A and B are shown apart, each in its own frame.
Chain A
Amino acid sequence: MRVQFFASCLVELLRPDVATAAQRALRAAGHEPEALVGATCCGQPAYNAGYRAEAQRVARRTLRALGDDDRPCVVASGSCATMMSHHWPELFEGTPEEIAARRAAGRTEELTAFMTTAGSDTAPDGGAGHDDQTGGPETSRAGGPAAVIVHDSCHALRELGAGATVRRALADAGHPTRSAEGSERCCGFGGSFSVKLPAVSVAMADEKLDSFVATGCEQVTSCDLSCLLHLQGRARRRGLGLRFDHVATLLGRET
């Protein structure tokens, strides 16, 4: 299927390889992604801090880049996909862009949600833990890839119902998945929360990291880069041997 692809500002700023991998994964699944030209950010940082006008100004840039198009817009971030599909209609309410925002919202999908439901009308069926496979922490079958801990980001889990699709996409690609204890609890990133209440944010990350370590697995993934950078930054400070990769990186790895 022909799709528009929006990497998100964070990917573009800090991990451009995630965008490359996501598009590679889409192509491998038979889709034709076209990277969005002229987009910057969905406006979420200002929106969540309470600055609507500023959020609108930035989101308008990306909304225009989306253009008058019928293709699905695939986003390599659960929280940006939530912002666009759930909050844009309200953010642009009463503005000349309202209709465009509603249309964009309707065709925006998080990467794994798109990949596991593309071409069908099946909606993702809910929360964490549904598709985890059982077995030892290291490998599920001889020579297969090591098990991956799926970190459920809050937006993906609660607003998109993408907890299951990340797992399903990984399983389809041959990665056994695990959930850590307290998988549905927030990791403490929360945008500006992570720098406004840094000590609380880090304490939340610590609990999350301890639960990862307890699984015996080393690879952590998520559909949200923001959570991963926060967790990775803390894990490195603590000297933990965990690896953090966006789900697109795992799905789009060159074989």
Chain B
Amino acid sequence: MSVPTATPVSFSGRAERALGDERMRAAIARGTGLMLERRHEAISALANADELRDAASDIRAEALRRLPELLEQWSDNLTAHGGQVHWAGDADEATAIIAEIVNRRGGKVIAKGKSMISEEIHLNAVLEQAGAEVTETDLGEFIQQLAGEPPSHIVAPAMHKDRFEVADLLSADRGAPVSPEIEAEAAYARRRLRQAFLDAGVGITGVNFAVASTGSICLVENEGNGRMCSSLPPTHIALMGLERIVADFGDLDVMLNLLARSATGQALTVYTNIITGPRRTGEIDGPEELHVVVLDGGRSAALGTEFSPALHCIRCGACLNVCPVYRQVGGHAYESVYSGPIGAVLTPLLKPEDPAARELSEASSLCGACTEICPVRIPLHDLLLQLRQRDARGDASRLRRVGFWLWSQAWSRRWIFRAMVLAARAGLPVLRRIRRLPNVGWLGAWHRGRELP
């Protein structure tokens, strides 16, 4: 029996561990492959995909340029419709605001929809510590909650698990076998979660877009759980990153046209919820109170810098699906809420003090597939390169810096280069004959899995 070991501190260590998990890798290859195929069909079906992507890119850039003004307009409009807006500078402020609302509203039972921001601020842990009972109601998130793991994909949280692993988790929850058929698994989850909606005093969801002109929030989903969480419990708390604003419904239309197509290959998700305030007099559905918590969490520091385009992201997950590194190692190896290329760019921006986050810019061969697929045209691999350039000046890379300096001195002189060419031609045949090179340096790293050239 294998003893569980501590999570390796480096990306390369975690990646190597992930590479040993054949079952996970097969599930990721299958899942990402399917999403890519569907995305390709859905985008190809558009006559004007390129123009739409250009428009979406412009809309995101313009929204960030006008961010303070649009957020204020949105907040004023939502407040006028009875919603309550809370501004949180960081994770601690956000969780404190939410805990206070939960506490005041006596909502110890919480039904929660999918929200990456809630993962970012570790909301469940804080609420559970305060004595609340949180049920994830998105099927993938529910599976991950049962497994005690964070999501491994921003759109499909449990993509890395096959249906047999899911059946085991659901059976353990039920205390009786759940058949490893997708229908049986969904049926069990449906029954189980239905009760969570009915019992909940507070519903918590994410936000895909906030519409400034009307004060609305837009929430897209496929399972109806988001609609349940936002309409059934007496209190609805929605979490959003401060960059998720669009000016009006015209802009929202462009974003929605691309989001589901890029993510799951749907023209639109099954549910598109537009929420503009809590229940009004005479309405039969909806919460008594609507709170929207807007998180900065390091985002505003990236505004106006060369990394600003990373905030254009609409969380479709297409760059994860197409990334050949993500395909091999899955999401958990990144050890960040956001994985794949966008995670490798966002994480060091949101956690500038974390040295482990900086390492993620190396988790790319700079192949450019992410940049090519991004619906809002974020130049992801260029941003990864810029992160490398920024970090190359730091103290952590002193040895490498010296190495590249020496290299540049040598290779900017033709005679040294020629001497090295001759040395390589003479030395390689000798090195090739050595069966086991010591696992040291770049030569050793190459030779671990490959013969020398």
Nearest chain B residue, comparing its CB with the CB of A186: B367
Min CB distance, B265 to chain A, in Å? 18
CB of B31 within 8 A of chain A? Answer: no
Q: Which residues from A are CB-within-8-Å of B392? A: 49-52
CB of A73 within 8 A of chain B? Answer: no
Choose one: B367, B387, B420, B428; the contact of A154 (CB below 8 Å).
B367
**Which residues of B from 369 to 404 have beta carbons under 8 Å from A?**
369, 371-372, 385, 387-392, 400-401, 404
Q: Which residues from B are CB-within-8-Å of A38? A: 414
Q: Which residues from B are CB-within-8-Å of A52? A: 389, 392
Q: Is the Cβ of A204 less than 8 Å from the Cβ of B424? A: no
Choose one: A9, A46, A188, A197; the contact of B417 (CB below 8 Å).
A9
Q: Compute how far the CA of A50 lies from the CA of B371 in the bound complex, rounded to whole angstroms.
A: 18
Min CB distance, B50 to chain A, in Å? 13
- B contacts with A: majority SS: helix
CB of A100 within 8 A of chain B? Answer: no
Q: Is the Cβ of A158 less than 8 Å from the Cβ of B372? A: yes
Q: Is the Cβ of B404 less than 8 Å from the Cβ of A196? A: no
Q: Which residues from B are CB-within-8-Å of A203? A: 19, 328
Q: Is the Cβ of B445 less than 8 Å from the Cβ of A195? A: yes
Q: Is the Cβ of A193 less than 8 Å from the Cβ of B362? A: yes
**Which residues of A from 136 to 171 have beta carbons under 8 Å from B?**
154-155, 158-159
Q: Is the Cβ of A200 less than 8 Å from the Cβ of B367? A: no
Choose one: A41, A185, A196; the contact of B362 (CB below 8 Å).
A196
Q: Which residues from A are CB-within-8-Å of B19? A: 199-200, 203
Q: Compute how far the CA of A15 lies from the CA of B425 in the bound complex, rounded to whole angstroms.
A: 9
- A contacts with B: majority SS: helix
Considering residues B411, B446, B448, which has the most beta carbons from chain A within 10 angstroms of its beta carbon? B411
Q: Which of A20-28, A213-221, A229-237, A245-253 contacts B (4 or more CB under 8 A)?
A: A229-237
Choose one: B362, B404, B448; the contact of A51 (CB below 8 Å).
B404
Min CB distance, B132 to chain A, in Å? 40
Q: Which residues from B are CB-within-8-Å of A46? A: 404, 407-408
Nearest chain A residue, comparing its CB with the CB of B406: A54
CB of A12 within 8 A of chain B? Answer: yes
If A48-B385, A158-B368, A186-B369 touch, whether A197 touches B363 (CB-CB below 8 Å) is: yes
Q: Which residues from B are CB-within-8-Å of A61? A: 411-414
Q: Write out, one digit per residue, whether chain B residues 321-353 have a CB within 8 A of any chain A CB (1) or not (0).
A: 000110111000000000000000000000000
Q: Is the Cβ of A190 less than 8 Å from the Cβ of B365? A: yes
If A40-B414, A57-B409, A234-B450 touch, whether A196 touches B445 (CB-CB below 8 Å) is: yes
**Which residues of A from 33 to 57 have beta carbons under 8 Å from B?**
38-41, 45-55, 57
CB of B271 within 8 A of chain A? Answer: no
CB of B452 within 8 A of chain A? Answer: yes
CB of B12 within 8 A of chain A? Answer: yes
Q: Which residues from A are CB-within-8-Å of B364? A: 190, 193
CB of B451 within 8 A of chain A? Answer: yes
Q: Is the Cβ of A40 less than 8 Å from the Cβ of B368? A: no
If A14-B453, A233-B453, A237-B450 touch, whether A48 touches B445 (CB-CB below 8 Å) is: no
Q: Is the Cβ of B417 less than 8 Å from the Cβ of A40? A: yes
CB of B366 within 8 A of chain A? Answer: yes
CB of B449 within 8 A of chain A? Answer: yes
Min CB distance, B428 to chain A, in Å? 7
Q: Compute how far the CA of A189 lies from the CA of B12 in the bound complex, rounded to whole angstroms.
A: 15
Q: Give the size of the chain B interface in residues (CB under 8 angstroms).
A: 53
Q: Compute how far the CA of A61 lies from the CA of B412 in the bound complex, rounded to whole angstroms.
A: 5
Q: Compute how far the CA of A57 lies from the CA of B416 in the bound complex, rounded to whole angstroms.
A: 14
Min CB distance, B160 to chain A, in Å? 16
Q: Which residues from B are CB-within-8-Å of A47? A: 385
Q: Is the Cβ of A204 less than 8 Å from the Cβ of B324? A: yes
Min CB distance, A214 to chain B, in Å? 15
Choose one: B385, B387, B408; the contact of A57 (CB below 8 Å).
B408
CB of A202 within 8 A of chain B? Answer: yes
Q: Is the Cβ of A54 less than 8 Å from the Cβ of B407? A: yes
Q: Is the Cβ of B404 less than 8 Å from the Cβ of A197? A: no
Q: Is the Cβ of A189 less than 8 Å from the Cβ of B404? A: no
CB of B405 within 8 A of chain A? Answer: yes
If A13-B424, A193-B362 touch, whether A50 touches B385 (CB-CB below 8 Å) is: yes
Choose one: A200, A201, A229, A237; the contact of B453 (CB below 8 Å).
A229
Q: Is the Cβ of A198 less than 8 Å from the Cβ of B365? A: no
If A52-B389, A234-B450, A237-B451 touch, whether A13 touches B324 (CB-CB below 8 Å) is: no
CB of B16 within 8 A of chain A? Answer: yes
CB of A118 within 8 A of chain B? Answer: no
CB of B71 within 8 A of chain A? Answer: no
Q: Compute how far the CA of A236 lies from the CA of B453 in the bound complex, rounded to whole angstroms.
A: 10
Nearest chain A residue, comparing its CB with the CB of B325: A200
Choose one: A9, A16, A185, A195; the contact of B442 (CB below 8 Å).
A195
Apart from A158-B369, A192-B442, A234-B450, what 19 extra A-B contacts exist at CB < 8 Å?
A: A14-B424, A14-B428, A16-B425, A46-B407, A48-B366, A49-B404, A50-B387, A50-B388, A58-B407, A154-B366, A197-B325, A197-B362, A198-B446, A199-B15, A202-B449, A204-B324, A207-B328, A232-B453, A237-B450
17 A–B pairs (Cβ distance < 8 Å), ordered by A: A9-B417, A13-B424, A39-B414, A45-B407, A48-B388, A50-B387, A51-B404, A52-B389, A54-B408, A57-B408, A58-B412, A197-B325, A200-B16, A202-B449, A232-B451, A233-B446, A234-B450
Residues of B within 8 A of A (CB): 11-12, 15-16, 19, 324-325, 327-329, 362-369, 371-372, 385, 387-392, 400-401, 404-405, 407-409, 411-414, 417, 420-421, 424-425, 428, 442, 445-446, 448-453
Residues of A within 8 A of B (CB): 9, 12-16, 38-41, 45-55, 57-58, 60-61, 154-155, 158-159, 184-186, 188-205, 207, 229-230, 232-234, 236-237
The 5 closest A-B pairs by CB, nearest first: A190-B365, A50-B388, A233-B450, A202-B449, A186-B367
